[in-house]
Amino acid sequence: MPVIIAAAVCLFLLVGAELSTMQVETAIKHYKTNLIQFRLARFGEAMITRYEENPQGGYLSPAELVQLPGYEYLKNDSLELFQVERVQLSDAAWRFQRIGAWFESPYDVVGNSEYLSINSNSCGTGSFSTATSWCGRAASIWMKAEDRQGFGELLLGEKQRLVRTMSKLAKRFNRDGTFTPLAAGSFRTLPQLVGYSGTPEACAGVFAYNEIPLTCDDLFNVWGNPISLNQISDRHIALVNRTQIFNASGLVVRLAEEIKVE
């Protein structure tokens, strides 16, 4: 009987050890998954923040982003573990950029080509480079961003830019009935009119044209393109804002704001 009891105790200890090892392995896998999710989410947030600061450059890959001042902290996130793909495509309204980043489970790896194929799209029909709606495989950790999601906000902000600048020109007209000394039918960019020849990034201070105070926010849009002034007639002017957003046909979207005094 003592021997049987001893054997039972040994068996109990062995099972207990096995259960403990399984629990540790599960905890490690859970921790690794959470860490990968956290790092991918942090990259996505940083990428979108940078895009909002400078949409002209589009979405940046991890290798490009970590080289920029202020984003060096991402170097500690082992972003080289993630696969990244970028593509330009169109829907019914816009031509837009899509970026996807993902980490495949080591127990269910299919490779980049298959991952981006029509067979792996978990929320739509079509491949990564053709589908209007795309999601990564269920057996992976993934993120996606599309700049079309922010087009409405960007265009609204640029329209408001024109309204603010036009209000300054309207106030000038109220003084003596003139907008600008330009000849009817001519046009100039606002940087040309104030004599600024530098880059949008280096622009600073307040300028004056025909006694109208203009700031850098008046001169350039968010993509760094100059705003143009069209002198249609002595009593009719228009501001034109050329964005870097394209419609589905590939034509650039231009915004305009005009005043015509009857």
* Residues 147-156 pLDDT 10s: 998 899 999 9
Helix, strand and coil in the chain, % to nearest 5: 45, 25, 30
Using a 10 angstrom Cβ sphere, with 0-12 exposed, 13-18 middle and 19 or more buried, the burial of residue 163 is: exposed
Report yes or no: 253 and 155 within 8 Å, Cβ to Cβ: yes
Reading the chain (262 residues) residue by residue, the pLDDT tens digits are 333 334 444 344 445 555 566 666 667 677 788 999 999 999 999 999 999 888 887 899 999 999 999 999 999 888 888 999 999 999 999 999 999 999 998 888 999 999 999 999 999 899 999 999 999 998 899 999 999 988 999 999 999 999 999 999 999 998 888 888 899 999 999 999 999 999 999 999 999 999 999 999 999 999 999 999 999 998 999 999 999 999 999 999 999 999 998 8
What backbone phi and psi angles, to 5 degrees, belong to 115? Answer: -60, -40
Distance CA 242, CA 240 (A): 6
Report yes or no: 167 and 174 within 8 Å, Cβ to Cβ: no
pLDDT for 124 equals 86
Nearest to 110 by CA among 145, 142, 144: 142
Nearest to 136 by CA among 105, 164, 107, 161: 105
pLDDT for 71 equals 92
Is this prediction's pTM over 0.85?
Answer: no
pLDDT for 7 equals 41
pLDDT for 12 equals 46
Distance CA 232, CA 229 (A): 9
Place of tokens 């920029």: 68
Distance CA 125, CA 103 (A): 21
Distance CA 30, CA 226 (A): 51
Identify the helix (H) or strand (E) that includes residue 12.
Answer: helix 2-53
pLDDT for 17 equals 55
245: its two tokens: 């957003």
44: its two tokens: 């996505």
pLDDT for 22 equals 64
pLDDT for 226 equals 98
Report yes or no: 165 and 180 within 8 Å, Cβ to Cβ: no
